[in-house]
Each structure stands twice: as structure tokens, then as C-alpha cells.
Amino acid sequence: MPQNYIPIFLFIAVVGFLIPVTLVAAKLVRPENPHRTKLMPYECGIDPVGSSRGRYTIRFYIVAILFVVFDVETIFLFPWAVKFKALGVFGLVEMLIFLTILIVGYIWIWKKGALDWV
């Protein structure tokens, strides 16, 4: 039984060896001459305005969280679509209830103004 794990241990050993070796090689090879122009944030050739460490409003995070929530919820549609015929009418009714709850939630956050950027 332990002989089945030998390839895994070899892979871990190779990765454990290669990661530090490549990081050290990159540190030795790269030039280190930072100056003001190199340290400026890149903005399509336009001189940056303000600090690159600006703060985001809470609305950005709310929209991001809502995107993740609705994205994860729609992933539940794929297994249902694959087994649609096997689930029959029960699966259809259950998915309609799920989609109704999802749409009501979407309309609710839309009416609350959570999707507005400004």
C-alpha cells in the first residue's frame, strides 16, 4: 500500500526543491535599480493622479459580494439541467421555487439601490 504514495511524495519533493531554487535564481538574476519612474503605478501611459493606495467605498464591496452570491446561486442550475429528465415534475417545481426566491432577492436588492455605483 505505501508504494502507491511514492509518486505523490516524489512530486512533493520535486516541488519543494524547485520553488526555493527558482525564487533564489530570480533574485540573483533580476536587476535591482528602482527609481521614481519605475515605482509609479502604470495607468495606460497617463500620469497617475493621487495615491495608488486610494480607498474604495463600501458600495464596491457590497456589489462584489452580491455578484459572488448570485454567481454561486446560478451554479446550482447546471446539475439540475443535467438531471432534468430524471427529476421530472418534482425537479421542475423545485427549481421554479428556487428561481423565484433568487429573482425576488435580486429585485429586492435592486430596489434598495445596492447595485448603484454612486
Q: Are residues 98 and 76 in contact, defined by beta-carbon separation less than 8 angstroms?
A: yes
Query: Class for domain 2-112, per CATH?
Result: mainly alpha
- What residue segments make up the domains of the chain, in order of their start? 2-112
Q: What is the pTM of this model?
A: 0.49
DSSP state of 20: H
pLDDT in tens, 88-103: 999 999 999 999 998 8
pLDDT in tens, 9-67: 999 999 999 999 999 999 999 888 777 777 776 666 666 677 767 777 788 888 888 88
**The dihedral formed by the CA atoms of 6, 11, 16 and 21, expressed in degrees to the nearest 10:** 130
Distance, in Å, from the CA atom of 36 to the CA atom of 58, rounded to the nearest integer, reads: 32
